[in-house]
Structure 1
Amino acid sequence: MKRLLTLLVPVLLALATGCASQTLLGAEDRTKLQRDLTTGPTSVRYLKASSYITPFFGDASKRLLTPYPPEEVRLLNDTKGNPINPGVVQALVPAGSKARILKVEFPTAWVLAERVLYSPRTQPWVYLDVEGAPPGPPVILVLSPQLKTKEDVLAELDRHLVEHDPAQRIVKFQARFQEAIRQKKVLESMPEAAVEMSWGAPERIRRELNGQQVLQEWMYPGDKRRVYITDGLVTRVDEGTPAAAKP
């Protein structure tokens, strides 16, 4: 009887607080993904971009893994619709770091009832053991909320974690670009592949042709950081004006 009550508490809480499932995947697909991604060779992946480890908003029992600085994270909004900063950077882990998938958790009604309110609780979470991360609570990669199929989940995961060690790609860059990737910097003349390994994928890309040249403008969340690329090489980096320096 005691065990039955223990099992029922999250369900009753979910009903009482109006928590409905926020996942579009069926139970069979969720089970298969959990099994396939946490067992065998596919459970071991590598960071596609150098990433920060920060606090996990209001949940002190976890840490967030993100390729973006805390002020650019767009996972949780306040009551006015403004993005909430998850907290200060605790560590930086470079692109290519090994990351083992420990658990894939989807926001079912049961799960929502157990998650901390002030967290990105309506999105899928991937629990990781990240090489080089300092000891502490579990590291969480938060996935997009609009994932409808197994293929959507795998594609979203591939945006952050690659199956093959990128070390051989990284060593082909000049030494100064390799160091820039490790320090999460972007330098002039840097190849665009190295830019993505350092800063992560941009939120938006504007492309145009100027004669035979291909011009790109990479814009990161908040539109403060921008990278200008011509024919695959960086020509200018705009890291934005710090908020404190604005008039």
Structure 2
Amino acid sequence: MKRLLVVLVALVAAGCKSHTQIAPEDRASLEHTLTGPEADRYLRLSMYTTPFFGDASKRLLTPYPPEDVLLLNDTSGKTVNPGAIEATLPTGAKAHIRKVEFPTAWVVTERILYTPRTWPWVYVEVEGAPKGPPLVLVLRPHLKTREEFLAEVDRYLSSQDPAAQISAFSEPVREAIRQKKTVPEMPAEALEMAWGYPETIKRTLEGTAHNEEWIYPGGRRHAFLTEGRLVRVEEAAAPASTLAPGSK
């Protein structure tokens, strides 16, 4: 019986490959560096919390609305919606990383099937977040080095308090950042804090004016800027998506 169990475990491990290229010693170093008692961080962008694709033991921390979260597709190729927005956490909220989980072969086998289980997960505690299951920030896959991983974490969880930068904005802009909304003439830096990073930026020159079109994941939201200031936004209806089992 014991021999059969060992064989079954070996077969499961063999059928599920590792999805991390970061060396084991670097993974251990990253865990130590990012979760240390003095490693307090701050939200670089305002974030939503949502259900975690039907896994009731976790919640997702994301800068994008649920319909624009492009982490998981169903068997027909349709985007899986993690679930409705539960809370909004503002840029600058203090955060602490509690755990870093790399998608090794063994970890992937333990994760629930309909979750982004082949991506790195960072478990984060955020000041002001409603009580509930732990928050998980899902990082992009295919990070190869310790330096790449740290840079990716820093895109969302800054080691520097952005309070001084935020206080330089007008009150309407600060409120827009807190609410993940936009107001005309807000600076590009403030738009980034409010809506998160665009997937694509198209730059054009009209006379001497520098224009940018920010296109967000899924192509549903567009922001138009001139000389680094927001001119207008366009938002299409949310595309059809599959709701993860158990999500609301």
User: TM-score scaled by structure 2?
Assistant: 0.91
User: Could you tell me which amino acid in structure 1 is paired with residue 180 of structure 2?
Assistant: K
Q: Distance in 1 between matches of 2:137 and 2:99?
A: 11
CA contact (8 A) 2:67 2:238 kept: no
Cross-structure match for 2:209: 213
Q: What SS does structure 1 have at the residue aligned with 2:202? A: strand
User: Could you tell me which amino acid in structure 2 is paired with residue 31 of structure 1?
Assistant: A
Cross-structure match for 1:134: 130
User: Could you tell me which amino acid in structure 2 is paired with residue 20 of structure 1?
Assistant: K
Instruction: Pick the aligned partner of 2:40 from 31, 44, 68.
Output: 44
Cross-structure match for 1:31: 28
CA contact (8 A) 1:188 1:237 kept: no
Cross-structure match for 1:113: 109
| Cα drift, residue 240 of structure 1 | 2.0
Cross-structure match for 1:150: 146
CA contact (8 A) 2:184 2:232 kept: yes
| Structure 1 residues 115 and 9: alpha-carbon distance in aligned structure 2, compared to 1, 3 A threshold | farther
Q: Distance in 2 between matches of 1:9 and 1:76?
A: 31
| Cα drift, residue 14 of structure 1 | 3.0
Q: What SS does structure 2 have at the residue aligned with 1:180? A: helix
Q: Distance in 2 between matches of 1:10 and 1:98?
A: 44
Cross-structure match for 1:104: 100
Q: Distance in 1 between matches of 2:7 and 2:94?
A: 37
| 1:164 is the counterpart of 2:121 | no
| Cα drift, residue 221 of structure 1 | 1.1
Instruction: Pick the aligned partner of 1:202 from 198, 201, 208.
Output: 198
| Structure 1 residues 33 and 185: alpha-carbon distance in aligned structure 2, compared to 1, 3 A threshold | same
Q: Distance in 2 between matches of 1:228 and 1:76?
A: 28
> Percent identical across equivalent pairs?
56
CA contact (8 A) 2:67 2:239 kept: no
Q: What SS does structure 2 have at the residue aligned with 1:31? A: helix
- What stretches of structure 2 of length at least 5 have no aligned partner? 241-248
Cross-structure match for 2:178: 182
| 1:60 is the counterpart of 2:49 | no
Q: What SS does structure 1 have at the residue aligned with 2:185? A: coil
Give the aligned length: 238
Q: What SS does structure 1 have at the residue aligned with 2:214? A: strand
User: Could you tell me which amino acid in structure 1 is paired with residue 36 of structure 2?
Assistant: T
Instruction: Pick the aligned partner of 2:79 from 58, 80, 83.
Output: 83
Cross-structure match for 2:13: 15
CA RMSD of aligned residues (A): 2.0
| Cα drift, residue 212 of structure 1 | 1.7
Q: What SS does structure 2 have at the residue aligned with 1:222? A: helix
| Cα drift, residue 15 of structure 1 | 2.7
User: TM-score scaled by structure 1?
Assistant: 0.91
Q: Distance in 2 between matches of 1:10 and 1:51?
A: 41
| Structure 1 residues 113 and 188: alpha-carbon distance in aligned structure 2, compared to 1, 3 A threshold | same
| Cα drift, residue 211 of structure 1 | 2.1
Q: Distance in 1 between matches of 2:21 and 2:145?
A: 8
| Cα drift, residue 45 of structure 1 | 0.8
Q: What SS does structure 1 have at the residue aligned with 2:32? A: helix
Instruction: Pick the aligned partner of 1:73 from 55, 69, 72.
Output: 69
- What stretches of structure 1 of length at least 5 have no aligned partner? none
Q: Distance in 2 between matches of 1:201 and 1:169?
A: 18
| Cα drift, residue 241 of structure 1 | 3.4
